Structures are given as structure tokens and as C-alpha cells.
Structure 1
Amino acid sequence: MTNRIVQFSAELQQQADAFFQECFSAVGIPYSPADRHADVADIEGHYMQNGCFWCMVDGEGGIVGTVALRVIDAENRVVELKRMFVLPKQQGKGYGRRLLDTAIAYAREQGYSRICLDTRRQFAAAQHLYKSSGFVLMDRYNDNEFADFFFELEL
């Protein structure tokens, strides 16, 4: 059975917790669900009311990748791409591209005008993916102290 992309539902929260613990640990970032990662500890509350969150699940229902959009400027129809992750052992298989394409298609279908995102220097493969999907560098748009680069895609 191939991996499929599904919208997040509350039944996936426990798998999401384990997924993010593994992803953050793999890149040397302590997982902190009580504060800086509170959004992924409560995906329903942080993304499903003001955007969308998708999980790529394998044949057994385990999460292998995620991506989210949240509205950051309702008046100008701007969304932010968040929590774009693929398990380290699953990277290089095109899953990130499938997740990103899902988020971009959704943003277009919903009539958003632009997608913004921030990322860290260490995520070079993700930066390449964003650029190959049409994202371009932009000036800082938020106060994320951990971000090194900021990208946007005009829709």
C-alpha cells in the first residue's frame, strides 16, 4: 500500500507527538510541546480552525510526513507554511514534494494570494524544494528567532 495524504484528525495526535519528537531529535532540536512546539501538541486547536494540517500516513497508519498552512493575514489572503517535515529515514523519496504540492493546491483552491514560510540554515534540502516550487527569498516577516531564511510564493 502506498503512502497517502490525509487531513489531520484528533485520532492522529498521539502519532503526531511521536513523529515530531523523532523529527526534532534527529536535527538536534529539543522537542518542547509545552512552549515552543505547543502548536504541534494541539494541532486541532492551532491549525484546523485557522488553516489546515496534513499528514502523510503509511500503510499501517503511521505518520511519515506533515505540512500545515495557517492564515497570517486574513485581509490580504496570506497563509504561512508550517511544520513541513518528513521522517529522516523517509527523506529523498519525493514525500516532501507531495506534501508541499498538497498545501500549494489547497491555498490556490481557497483563494489565498501568497504563501510565506521561514526556515533554518540547516534545512538545505527543504530550501532547494521551496525554490524548485517557485518560492523566492523575501525580507523577514515574523519574529521567529530561530529562522535564518524567509520565502514567499505568489499564487
Structure 2
Amino acid sequence: MRDYYRDFLIRNWEQSDRTSTAAVISYVLSEYGLGWEPNGADRDVVKVEECYLAAGGEFWVIEHQGHLVGTGAYYPVNRGEKAVEIRKMYLLPSIRGIGLGKYLLQQLEAAIAARGFQQIWIETASVLVEAVKLYESNGYQPATGVETPRCDRVYVKYLNQPLLGDWELGIK
């Protein structure tokens, strides 16, 4: 991945990004009163190679003027049919409200769809108000089965669903 939104570079994560990635995510979590959990919910950030790259997922970072300012990632999960979970979608406060989050979500969805996945799952916390609003306004439906202790919401979006014809719906 190498893409631009305005003057923001969205690119694949590199090993040299590990510390900056952790700092961005930790900062955003603390802003909302949530803790950084390197041995728990954030283990995947410490072990990107194992949790994302080796598992068939992707981890992207967002740069602005040479500084990491955001992240977004996904990996396959055993939940439903051909499913992935979008994770670690975080933007520093200084770059929110310009459409970058929506663009990042759309790019993640496009990459996921291009790889043949059919379901996208997202877990989040109610206190992440902007994230909840973003997901709900982009077709994510509330679901059940929260697996991450600090999260209290789970959403799902179905991709590539064929449209049903009248005959399939029993309409004559």
C-alpha cells in the first residue's frame, strides 16, 4: 500500500515504525481514558509481523511531514464466512475531522474486498465516539460477541453480497 490523502502518506508498516506506532496508539487510548496493553489487547502492535503479516493481514501507517500520525490494519479471523477484523484504526487528534478516517476506512475495505473477504468485523469502545459514528455511518451493523476486554461494541459489515432476484424472494 502506498497512497495519499491530501498531503498524508498511507503506506505499509515497516519494522522501524514499531515505536512510533505504539506511541500513536497509546496516546489516543490515553486521551479516552483507556490503557495501553502491550501484553493484552495491544499485543498485535508489538508483534505486527506475527499477528498481521504472517496471518495474511496488512498493517498501514499514516505519515504527515515525516511523522507518524495514524494507523489502520486488518487480519483474517474465524468469525463468520471469509471474515477479517479491522483493528488499530487510530488518528491523532490534530488530524481528525478532515475526512482522513473515512478515507482510511474506505481504503481498508477496498483492500479487504479485493482479497475476496466477505465480512468485516470491528470491535470498539463506546468512549471512542468518533469511531462509533464513523462505523455506523458507513454501513457497519451492531452485532454481538465482543472478544476484547476494553471494548463494549462489535460491528459487522457484509461485502460482495449478491442482490436477490424476485424469484429468490418468492415474488411473482
**After TM superposition, is the score higher than 0.5?**
yes
Q: Which residue of 2 is the match for residue 42 of structure 1?
A: 47
How far residue 110 of structure 1 moved from its aligned partner, in angstroms, is 0.2
What RMSD over aligned residues (CA atoms) do the two structures have, in Å? 1.8
Separation in 2, partners of 1:118, 1:146: 9
Point out 4+ residue stretches in structure 1 off by more than 4 angstroms.
none
Q: Which residue of 1 is the match for residue 30 of structure 2?
A: 25
Separation in 1, partners of 2:41, 2:79: 24
Q: Which residue of 2 is the match for residue 56 of structure 1?
A: 62
1:66 aligns with 2:65: no
Q: Which runs of 5+ in 1 are unaligned?
A: none
Separation in 1, partners of 2:7, 2:118: 32
How far residue 74 of structure 1 moved from its aligned partner, in angstroms, is 8.3
Q: Pick one of 131, 135, 152 that aligns with 1:148.
A: 152
1:98 aligns with 2:106: no
Separation in 2, partners of 1:65, 1:6: 11
**Structure 1 residue identity aligned to 2:64:** D
How far residue 18 of structure 1 moved from its aligned partner, in angstroms, is 1.8
**Structure 2 residue identity aligned to 1:84:** M
Is contact 1:65–1:96 with CA below 8 Å preserved after alignment? no
Separation in 1, partners of 2:80, 2:41: 27
1:133 aligns with 2:128: no
How far residue 72 of structure 1 moved from its aligned partner, in angstroms, is 0.5
Q: Which residue of 2 is the match for residue 86 of structure 1?
A: 91
Q: Which residue of 1 is the match for residue 165 of structure 2?
A: none
How far residue 120 of structure 1 moved from its aligned partner, in angstroms, is 0.7
Quick one: percent identity of the two aligned structures? 24
Q: Which runs of 5+ in 2 are unaligned?
A: 1-5, 160-172
Is contact 1:47–1:53 with CA below 8 Å preserved after alignment? yes
Cα deviation, 1:13-42, whole Å, max 9, x if unaligned, reads 121122122222212222232343211122
Cα deviation, 1:54-76, whole Å, max 9, x if unaligned, reads 1111121x111111111102882
Normalised to the residue count of structure 1, the TM-score between the two structures is: 0.89
How far residue 100 of structure 1 moved from its aligned partner, in angstroms, is 0.7
Q: Which has the larger radius of gyration?
A: 2
Is contact 1:4–1:56 with CA below 8 Å preserved after alignment? yes
